[in-house]
Each structure stands twice: as structure tokens, then as C-alpha cells.
Amino acid sequence: MNSSGAKSDSTPTLTPLRAPAGPSSRDGEMRQPLHYLQIALDYYVLTPKKLAAATVISGHFLALAVILAFLGNRPDAVAAATTQPPTSQPQSLDDRIAALVAQLSSDEPNQRQSASAALLALGRSARPAILRASRSEEPILRQQAAAILLQLPWDTPQDSDKVRQLLHNYGNPDTAARRQTVRTLAEPDEPDTAAALSRLLDEDPSPDVRWTIAACLRRSDQPAALNRFRAVPPRNDDPPALAVCGYAWIEVNPDKAGQFLHRCAVLEFASPNDDDGEFDFVIQTLCDLAVADKKFNAAADLRRKQYAHGSPVDEAAIPTALLELFALHANDGPLPGLEQDIKLVGSAMSCTKIQYAMSRLDARIGKKADSDAARAAAFAASTTRLQRYHVGDFLFDHAWDDLAEAEYKALLKMPPDANDPNSILEANAHLRLGSLAAKRGDDLAAAQNKEQAIRFLGGAANLVRSDPRGRASIVTMADIWADVHWHYLRAALARHDEPEVQRRLDELSRLRPTDPEIVIEVVPLLDQRKGPGADAVFDAAFEALKARLDADPQNASLLNGLAWLCARCDRKLADALNWSQQAVAQQPQNAAFLDTLAEVNFRLGHADQAVQLETKALQFLPGDAFMTGQLARFRAASSRPATAPN
């Protein structure tokens, strides 16, 4: 089961922000939880290099000349050289480099400077030794080597011309300049930069810069940027590299990912760096993993450490670590340490989001009057549409649906602010209300709200959505219209309005959506009516998802998602069986993956095997309504007698 998540911030500027993990569906209406498909959770409206490097001349002849010049200033060295027996072997290049590196930690400044000049003259040939020295536990050696390393070439012959151009002046001692180069390398229109980013993560001497590289690698849409870290474990003392390795494993082996991320957190808490905000994502992922394992106290302790370490703040300047800590109390508490947490928050206890969290907590422990009072105070605290939107966003992220809906509806009733002349907030509020409506099964309201959002946008806009790693992708208006038609289709099915059903199916056939959730419902309906278009609709979604799997063939979530798509559409079942088996082999205790394998077997006519697999899935997710229904469905076609799952 996917246990980490990310989403785009629903504010007009859409700053990346994580969403809570869990098996919630995209709109809540899917008959199988969202973790069956590795797709985006939602979409939102998106509003609209100093020093030149010294010329390095390399080559063994020049290197030898520099060394001899250095020796020429030392009579004793010259004497030793001239009296050396003629039969002795000349010193190898590696030995000369090692000797020069050793001089970098000399107590004599002149020796350090001479060794540095000689190593710079050696150029690329000295780089491996300098890189090792830059990781030394000796402070002087580490500092001297890092300064030399920055002046050596950073590109390689294997790099593209564009990458070599970007890396030409990378050795700037200003970390801010190097961070900007990294961000430029990671831009979507800069292809084939995964190898360069990975190399910089391993070699840049600044942990601050490496944290920026980690953030860029996480969001990269080049799977190879992360996949290589599964094969080559990072150094155990490098927090940014440990974080990237955790990201690489999260969709393949969450337990292994957690081990890398935990080691990263221990190191970063002990010796903080300027992490460029990326460490916040590490903590969020670790908390998601802890909550998924019902280790709520461990998640709370992580949030307390995050606050002490230095937490980002929200739009009201409240540390997000505190907000998430009280959300834990609200959802799974009260947890041990609540009284100390209240003292820790201090005057921030009166902030709207924490008041809502306390309202939820009071309701959990039966204090209805206190809950009602805290809820009323929280609702009355927002005086602008933007405030209501930020609060609603927090509530929406934590699945406090009734509270979020009230905030969005209140926003829509308020007149525009003087500094808010556009319709971004209205559009996003309607999109969120549409998702909430679908979650409670009201497809008509879902369709109407999402269609209303399109009207506010004037029929054309850039929208964005993010996957659990925070990789943003553009959503087209055709994608939104497909979503709208899908909900209208479901509403028409519920009231048995066949002409409306056919009209919406025709629109969806024309649009050919790639959202698997839509396709697994539309294709069977088209098959039932034996009309044209079913294969074309399936093929569009299949090709899009298959392309993602081809780029990341070890991704268990993608393997499972593609198998689920094929099974529910009753197509490519032999391939689906292979993909599903691979996913289960990676995560044999993942109930969702077992259910997919059961579905594939059932479609292949192996009902008895489907019963066994679904029974096993329910052992890992007892009482799940969807899987219980699946088991009953499989048993009805099985020759085996019904037995209660263990």
C-alpha cells in the first residue's frame, strides 16, 4: 500500500505541499482504493547564472614541470633528487598525487599552496584523489581538498553539449550560484541531465547544495535519476544522498525506504544544514510511513523534533510541524505528551487550524460542547477569502471533509478582495467541492462544481497536479472535461437515464481520457453496448501508463496499476498476470497488490486461486469493504466451499 504522498498546494501560487498518505481514492468514489493506481490525487489552477573559472591546463609534462619548480626552491630536495640512484623506478602518477594530497594537511602554508597548485595542474587525473580527500575526517585536509575540487572540471566527455555548457562554471565557491545551476539542470526542458545531477549529488562538497540536488532529483520526471540509487547504496554519512535513496525505494520497498530516510533524519537532526526545505519532505514521508504502521507516537516524536530542528511555517507564520502534530492528536489521539504540546504551542493555540484540530480531538473523546465551541471559534476567525481558502486546504488535506466544505462554501459567498481580482480562488474552491461531493457519492454535484470551475476559468487555463513524489504535471482542459463527463455519466447511470448515459459515453470516447479510474469504468460500459470506441479508449490509457512503466520497470505501484487497468477492462490478461506477479513478489504483504492478482486470476477463469489470494489480502487488511465484496464475488464462481478468512 502506498504510504507516502504529495500534492500541489491549492493556493493560487501552488507551492508544493504534501498530502497525508493513505488509501483514499482520487475523489473517493472509486470502487477500489487509490493505491491500486499510481496517479495524481487532484488538480489545481496554476498562475502564472559569476565568477569565470580559471583556465586549467592539464597534462603530465606540465604537472612534472610544476613539481620540479617546487622542488627547485628546496636545495635539500634537489640534492635528494640528483643523488637518487639511476636504477630506481620513477614515481608513478598515482603516488605523486597521493604525496601531494598528503601535503594539503601540512602545517606549512607554503607546502599546502604548492601542493594545491600542483594538483590543479594535474586536472582531471587528480580528481578521484581530491574527491576522497574532500570527505576526510581531517578538517584541514577536507577544506583544502574541497577548494581544489571546485576548481577542477565538473563536466565529463559523456555529458551532452548543453550539460557541459551548464557545468562549465559550476565550480563557483558561492553555494547559491551552484544551487541555481542545479535548478537549471533540473528544468523540464533540459533532458538527459539525470546522470549529471546524480554525479553532483555524490561529488559536490557542500551539503547545502546536495540538499537542493536531492529536491530536484525527487521531482525529476526522469526515472533513471532515482533508479540508479537502488543499485548503488549511498554513503552512510550523507543525509541528502540517503534521502534520495529513500525516495528511490519508496514505491518498490517502503520498509527499505524508511530505513534510509530514518538514517538521514538522525544525521540531519544531529547536525542541521541549509536543506532548502527538502528535509521537510523527508519528515513528512517518515510520518506517513509511521502512521500507516499505526506508530502514532513515533510520528508525533518526529514532529516535535522537526519543530526543534526548525520547521517551515504556513501562510499565518505557524510552524507546520506544530500543525501536523495537532492533526495527529486529532486523528489518532490524544497521544502521550498532549499537555506538553499545548505548552509548546503557547499563544498559537488560538490559530484557526489548531482550533479545528482541537475540535476534532474533543469530539473523539466525547467533549461535544468543547468541540462545538472550538469549531465555531475557528470558523469565525477567517475574515478574507484567502484565509478561508488556506484553512480549507488544510482541512481538505487531512480529510476533515465537513469542515473543509463549510470553509469553501463560505469563501464562495464572500465578495472578492481588493487584491484578488481574478477567479482563481473560486475555481479552486469549486474543484475541491467537486472532489468532496464525489467522495460522498454525489456525482451530480461533483460534475456541476467542476464544470463551474471551468466557467470561472473562461474555458482555458493551466492546471497542475502532483504525484506522491511531488512531480508536477500539466492538466489539460480535455482532462477536466473528461472528469466532468465521467461524473455526469455516473449520475445518469444511477437514475437509469440511458440517453444521457450514451451522450456522456460518446463525449468520453471522443476525449479518450488517460485517467485509469475513468477508463476502468468507461471501457466495460462501451463493451456492453458493443459500440465502437472501447478499444481506442483503453489503448490511450494503457499506452500512457505502459510508457511510465517502461521508464521505471521496477516500480511496484506502476506494475500493479497497469495490471489492474488491464484486468478491469478484461484486456491483455496474460501481461497483467506477469505484471501483477512481479508487484506481489516485491511486496508480498500488500493487500492491494494481492487483490489485483486475485482479480487477474478471476478474469483468467481461475476462481479458486482468486479466492485464496483475496482471503490472504483480507488477512493484511481485515474488514475492508471492497475486498470483502471481491471475495464474495470470487466465491460465487468457485468450486471451493466458503470459509471465513483468518
C-alpha dihedral sign at 585, 586, 590, 593: negative
**Complete edge-to-edge strand list for the sheet that includes strand 44-45:** 44-45, 463-466, 472-475
Res 42: pLDDT: 52
Query: Residue 340's pLDDT band (boundaries 50, 70, 90)?
Result: very high
C-alpha span between 164 and 145 (Å, rounded): 23
Per-residue pLDDT tens digits for 384-436: 999 999 999 999 999 999 999 999 999 999 987 766 656 888 999 999 999 99
- Indicate the Cα dihedral angle 403, 404, 407, 411, nearest 10°: -160
pLDDT at 23: 35
pLDDT for position 546: 96
Lowest mean pLDDT among 247-256, 504-513, 560-569: 247-256
The C-alpha atoms of residue 5 and residue 393 are separated, in whole angstroms, by 15
- Grid-cell match 505528551, residue found: 337
Range in 33-37, 219-223, 379-383, 515-519 with the lowest mean pLDDT: 33-37
Answer whether residue 302 shows pLDDT above 60. Answer: yes
E strand spans, 565-638? none
Q: Which of 106-110, 205-209, 268-272, 562-566 has the lowest mean pLDDT?
A: 106-110
Q: Which of 223-237, 239-253, 595-609 has the lowest mean pLDDT?
A: 223-237
Predicted confidence band of residue 15 (pLDDT cuts 50, 70, 90): very low
pLDDT at 24: 36
Joined together, the cell numbers standing for residue 492 give 445518469
pLDDT above 80 for 160: yes
Residues 479-491: what's their mean pLDDT?
96
Residue 643 in this model has a pLDDT that exceeds 70:
no
C-beta of residue 446 within 8 angstroms of C-beta of residue 27 = yes
- Asked whether residue 142 carries a pLDDT value surpassing 60, the answer given is yes
* Confidence tier at 233 by pLDDT (50, 70, 90): confident
Q: What is the rounded average pLDDT of the residues 155-177?
A: 91
Angle at 563 between CA 557 and CA 569, to 5 degrees: 135
pTM (predicted TM-score):
0.79
Write the DSSP assignment of 396-433 as a string of letters. Answer: HHTT-HHHHHHHHHHHHHSPPPTT--SSHHHHHHHHHH
Side chain identity at 121, as an amino acid letter? Answer: A
What average pLDDT does the segment 107-130 reach?
A: 93
Q: Does the pLDDT at position 151 exceed 90? A: yes
Q: Look up the CATH number of domain 552-646.
A: 1.25.40.10
Question: Is the sign of the CA dihedral 394, 397, 399, 405 positive or negative?
Answer: positive
Domain ranges in the chain with CATH number 1.25.40.10:
552-646
Question: What does pLDDT average to over the chain?
Answer: 84
Predicted pLDDT at 641: 53
Q: 66 falls in which pLDDT band (50, 70, 90)?
A: very low
Of 454, 398, 459, the C-alpha closest to 426 is: 454
Type of residue numbered 645: P
pLDDT at 18: 32
Range with the largest mean pLDDT of 8-22, 275-289, 414-428: 275-289
Q: What is the distance between the alpha carbons of residues 643 and 635, in angstroms, rounded to a whole number?
A: 10
Three-state secondary-structure class, residue 62 = helix
Decide if pLDDT at 609 tops 70. yes
- Which DSSP state fits 351? S
312-338 per-position pLDDT tens digit? 999 999 999 999 999 999 999 999 999
Residue 311 has, within 13 A of its CA and on its CB side, a CA count of 20
pLDDT band of residue 370 (cuts 50, 70, 90) is very high
The cell for 264 is 538521514
Lowest mean pLDDT among 18-32, 155-169, 473-487: 18-32
Per-residue pLDDT reduced to its tens digit, 502-549? 999 999 999 999 999 999 999 999 999 887 789 999 999 999 999 999
- When mean pLDDT is compared across 43-57, 104-118, 371-385, 508-522, the lowest value belongs to 43-57
Question: Averaged over 445-474, what is the pLDDT?
Answer: 84
Using the predicted structure, report yes or no on whether residue 57 has a pLDDT greater than 80.
no
Residue 131 pLDDT > 50: yes
Determine the pLDDT at residue 463: 81
16 phi and psi, to 5 degrees?
-55, 135
